Amino acid sequence: ALSTLLKLRVWRNGKEHYMEFSGGDAIKPLEIVGDAPITAEGKPLTGTEVTFYPDTEIFTQTVFDLPTLEHRLRELAFLNSGVILTLRDERGGEPVESQLHYDGGIRAFVEYLDRNKVRQIEEPVSIVGEKDGITVEVALQWNDSYHETTLCFTNNIPQRDGGAHMAGFRAALTRQINSYAQATGIVKKEKVNLSGDDAREGLTCVISVKVPDPKFSSQTKDKLVSSEVRPVVENIVNDRLAQWFEEHPQDARKVVTKVVEAASAREAARRARELTRRKGALDISSLPGKLAEWSERDASKAKLFI
C-alpha cells in the first residue's frame, strides 16, 4: 500500500517463486518461475528478496539515508545474535558495503553503547527468562556518566517512550538496589534515601521482550501498553538481579556505592536550593528608590520614625 511497485522473490524447496504488488493490490499472482540458484555449498538457495519503489504521494522523503539504515540494521544484528546482515549502497560511483554481525546479543549492544565511557563494573549484567509465553532479555551496566540510556524493544520493534517492559524493569531495579543497600548497611551509614533516579544514574540498559500479541499506544508503536508484560519483566529481573548481587559482591558494592553517592549529591543540591530560597525570603536589602540604607553608627545623630 506504500509502494507504487513491489516485487517479491522467494527461493524455497529448490524453486523460485515470484509475485508483484502495486498500491496494495496483487497485480501478478504467486507463481513458480524457475529453479532456485545453487549456492557455493552445492545446495539450493533459500530466502526472500523484496524490491520496492516508495510512493512519492505518501512519502515526502524517498531518498534513503545510509547512516539511518545502518543504525537500524545494527540494532537488529544485536537483537538477533549470530545473524549476519549486509548493507550495500550502489547509488554512488563506488559501492559502499558493511556487514553487521554480533554474537554477544544485547550484552554486546550495551558494551557498544558504552564503548567510549568508563565502566563501573567489569561485565554487563545479563538477564534472560521466560514466563507465560513472554521472553525477556535484559543487559545493563553502569558507567561514570550522570545520564541514563535505556533502549526498549518488543519483537525487535523499538519503543522510544518505553512502556510496560520499562516500568517492570525500573521497579525491580530500584527494589533490589534498596534491598541490597539496606542489607549491607550502606544506606544507614550515609543516612540517605535511594530513589529510582539515583539507581539509574549512569545506567546503560537494553530491554528486549518477545510478546505473542503485543499492544501499543499508537500505530507508531512508540509505547508498549500490554499490561501482562510488566509483572513478567518485574519478576524475572527481580529474581535475576538478586542472584547477581549475591554472586558478585564486589561489583554489587561498587554499584550501590555509586547510587548512594548520587543520592547524597541530590540531597546536597536540594538543601542548597532550600537555603537559597530562605535567604531570598529574608533579604530586606531591596528598598524603594526614595529610601537608602541606614549607615550612621552614632545613635545620637539618628532617629527612628514609627
Q: So what's the pLDDT on residue 208?
A: 98
Question: Is residue 153 domain-shared with residue 228, that is, in the same domain?
Answer: yes
CATH of the domain at 246: 3.30.230.10
Indicate whether 253 belongs to any domain: yes
Q: So what's the pLDDT on residue 189?
A: 74
Per the confidence metrics, is the pTM higher than 0.85?
Answer: no
Low-confidence residues of the chain, pLDDT below 70?
280-294, 304-306
Question: Is residue 225 domain-shared with residue 153, that is, in the same domain?
Answer: yes
Question: Is residue 126 domain-shared with residue 33, that is, in the same domain?
Answer: no
CB distance 261 to 186 below 8 Å: no
Question: Is residue 128 domain-shared with residue 232, that is, in the same domain?
Answer: yes
Indicate whether 179 belongs to any domain: yes
Report the alpha-carbon distance of residue 95 to residue 100 in Å, rounded: 16
Q: So what's the pLDDT on residue 216?
A: 97
Question: Is residue 256 domain-shared with residue 124, that is, in the same domain?
Answer: yes
Indicate whether 233 belongs to any domain: yes
Summarize pLDDT for 254-300 with one digit per residue, the tens.
Answer: 999 999 999 989 888 888 888 888 776 656 555 566 666 667 777 77
Question: Is residue 40 domain-shared with residue 180, that is, in the same domain?
Answer: no
Q: So what's the pLDDT on residue 283?
A: 60
Q: Residue length, the chain?
A: 306
Indicate whether 198 belongs to any domain: yes
Report the alpha-carbon distance of residue 207 to residue 210 in Å, rounded: 10
Q: So what's the pLDDT on residue 293?
A: 67
Question: Is residue 258 domain-shared with residue 122, that is, in the same domain?
Answer: yes
How many structural domains does the chain have?
A: 2
Q: Which domain holds residue 47?
A: 1-56
Question: Is residue 129 domain-shared with residue 246, that is, in the same domain?
Answer: yes
Question: Is residue 7 domain-shared with residue 125, that is, in the same domain?
Answer: no
Q: So what's the pLDDT on residue 93?
A: 83
Indicate whether 196 belongs to any domain: yes
Domain boundary among 40, 56, 72: 56
Indicate whether 121 belongs to any domain: yes
Report the alpha-carbon distance of residue 96 to residue 11 in Å, rounded: 26
Question: Is residue 122 domain-shared with residue 16, that is, in the same domain?
Answer: no
From first CA to last CA, the distance across the chain in angstroms is: 84
Question: Is residue 40 domain-shared with residue 179, that is, in the same domain?
Answer: no
Q: So what's the pLDDT on residue 294?
A: 67
By the 10 Å C-beta count (0-12 exposed, 13-18 middle, 19+ buried), 141 is classed as buried
Would you state the cell numbers that stand for residue 75, as one nine-digit string? 540494532
Question: Is residue 39 domain-shared with residue 157, that is, in the same domain?
Answer: no
Q: So what's the pLDDT on residue 301?
A: 74
Domain boundary among 233, 252, 267: 267
Q: So what's the pLDDT on residue 300?
A: 74
